[in-house]
């Protein structure tokens, strides 16, 4: 099997087995591309996290990131029209992990500059990308409709990524530097 078909050379693509051709500039494709981007970036973060022995109550940061990737693939499948279900337990998974991480961290008193470590910098980048993904998803939901659970999940996604940024910095003994306004 070849990696290209040439079927998309005219700016149209097909989703799953629908046979319907849609523009690659459609809102749906924008969402799918944005989800692919954050998922790929989480993969880079996961690869970097494997080099650290950093665990949240016994669960490695790389395992948490992989679960986020798995969840995002389900969301992508739903957006593309697959008959998949996104359950509330995925949101609860994020909330539970955010709470566990926060228990180990000092209180937040200010914003911090990104990049205290390589991994925390990548996680901060992923957090910023996840905020854009959320905006694109909201735009799609306003036009096409989307489960509230998916919107809640993407809102929590940036929160868990921020928590992981701080967690990684804390576990590596790195001082978080506030901006000099």
Which residue range is the domain that position 142 belongs to?
25-105+114-171
Look at residue 181 and tell me if it is in a domain: no
End-to-end CA distance of the chain: 55
Look at residue 3 and tell me if it is in a domain: no
Q: Tens of pLDDT along 125-160?
A: 999 999 999 999 999 999 998 999 999 999 999 999
Look at residue 118 and tell me if it is in a domain: yes
Tell the residue number behind the tokens 């790929």, with chain if given: 40
Q: What is the CATH number of the domain that holds 132?
A: 1.20.1200.10
**Of all helices (H) and strands (E), which one includes residue 21?**
strand 21-23
Whole-model pTM: value is: 0.90
From 82, 80, 95, select the one nearest 149 (Cα to Cα): 95
Q: Tens of pLDDT along 43-90?
A: 999 999 998 877 778 889 999 999 999 999 999 999 988 889 998 999
């Amino acid at each position: 099997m070849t990696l290209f078909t040439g079927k998309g050379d005219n700016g149209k693509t097909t989703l799953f087995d629908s046979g319907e051709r849609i523009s690659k500039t459609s809102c749906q494709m924008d969402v799918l591309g944005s989800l692919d981007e954050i998922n790929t970036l989480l993969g880079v973060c996961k690869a970097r996290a494997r080099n650290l022995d950093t665990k949240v109550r016994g669960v490695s940061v790389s395992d948490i990131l992989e679960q986020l990737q798995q969840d995002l693939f389900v969301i992508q499948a739903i957006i593309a029209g697959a008959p998949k279900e996104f359950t509330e337990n995925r949101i609860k998974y994020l909330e539970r992990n955010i709470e566990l991480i926060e228990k180990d961290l000092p209180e937040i008193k200010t914003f911090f500059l990104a990049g205290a470590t390589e991994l925390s910098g990548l996680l901060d980048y992923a957090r910023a990308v996840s905020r854009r993904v959320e905006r694109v998803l909201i735009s799609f939901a306003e036009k096409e409709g989307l489960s509230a659970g998916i919107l809640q999940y993407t809102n929590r996604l940036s929160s868990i990524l921020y928590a992981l940024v701080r967690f990684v910095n804390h576990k590596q003994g790195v001082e978080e530097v506030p901006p000099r306004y």
